[in-house]
């Protein structure tokens, strides 16, 4: 396991993103929409550095199976999220091909929010080939499979306070 982003680097970036969101959403009472399960650590930290009133809600998206191989199929469960007439910000842990985000933003746009933006902590190169806009971006990272800070590998490693690249020996 090789550390890609330290706890301190992540904390600094989250503070920066929180400041940006606080500047942009004062008086707008936005709803942050976290994508379970990977978002939990990021969202929990982000909401505590946002200084303006906001709400949170959750959706569940999935593409990946138990390992590192994507099935390609996106599933999105919006639960009872209702952003009609609200300002909304999707909070994603990681964007890889952008398929999940594209699917999710399309579904949420149908609810006719006042605005819909995207905040993603980690962005892989493939995301730039997808028709998705990432309005608030944490880090550009290489095209490696990463874990930690909410991200799992078969439900393992979500608790790590840093982001790391897994290698063969970690299995």
Which is nearer to ligand 5GP, 58 or 153 (by Cβ)?
153
The reply to whether 80 belongs to the active site is no
Q: How far is the CB of 27 from ligand 5GP (least distance, A)?
A: 31
Q: How far is the CB of 151 from ligand 5GP (least distance, A)?
A: 4
The C-alpha atoms of residue 132 and residue 101 are separated, in whole angstroms, by 7
The C-alpha atoms of residue 35 and residue 63 are separated, in whole angstroms, by 12
Exactly one of 96, 135, 144, 170 is catalytic; name it: 96
Q: Which residues bind ligand 5GP (CB under 6 A)?
A: 38, 63-64, 93-101, 145-147, 151-153
Q: How far is the CB of 82 from ligand 5GP (least distance, A)?
A: 22
Which is nearer to ligand 5GP, 25 or 95 (by Cβ)?
95
Rounded alpha-carbon distances, angstroms, from residue 5 to 51, 116, 123, 147 = 25, 28, 13, 11
Which is nearer to ligand 5GP, 145 or 162 (by Cβ)?
145
Give, in degrees to the nearest 5, the angle at Cα 100 between 92 and 108: 80
Q: What is the DSSP letter of 153?
A: B
Within the chain, residue ranges assigned H as helices are 7-24, 40-47, 99-109
Active-site residue list:
96
């Amino acid at each position: 396991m090789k550390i890609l982003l330290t706890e301190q680097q992540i904390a600094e970036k989250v503070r920066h993103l929180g400041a940006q969101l606080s500047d942009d959403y004062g008086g707008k009472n936005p709803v942050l929409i976290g994508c379970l399960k990977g978002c939990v650590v990021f969202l929990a930290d982000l909401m505590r550095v946002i200084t303006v009133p906001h709400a949170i809600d959750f959706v569940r998206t999935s593409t990946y199976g138990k390992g590192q191989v994507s099935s390609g199929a996106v599933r999105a469960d919006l639960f009872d999220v209702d952003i009609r007439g609200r300002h909304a910000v999707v909070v994603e842990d990681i964007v890889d091909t952008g398929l999940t985000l594209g699917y999710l933003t399309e579904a949420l746009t149908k609810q006719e929010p006042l605005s819909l933006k995207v905040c993603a902590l980690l962005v892989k190169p493939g995301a730039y080939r997808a028709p998705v806009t990432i309005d608030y971006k944490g880090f550009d990272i290489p095209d490696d499979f990463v874990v930690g800070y909410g991200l799992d590998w078969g439900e393992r490693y979500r608790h790590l306070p840093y982001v790391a690249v897994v290698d063969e020996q970690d299995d």
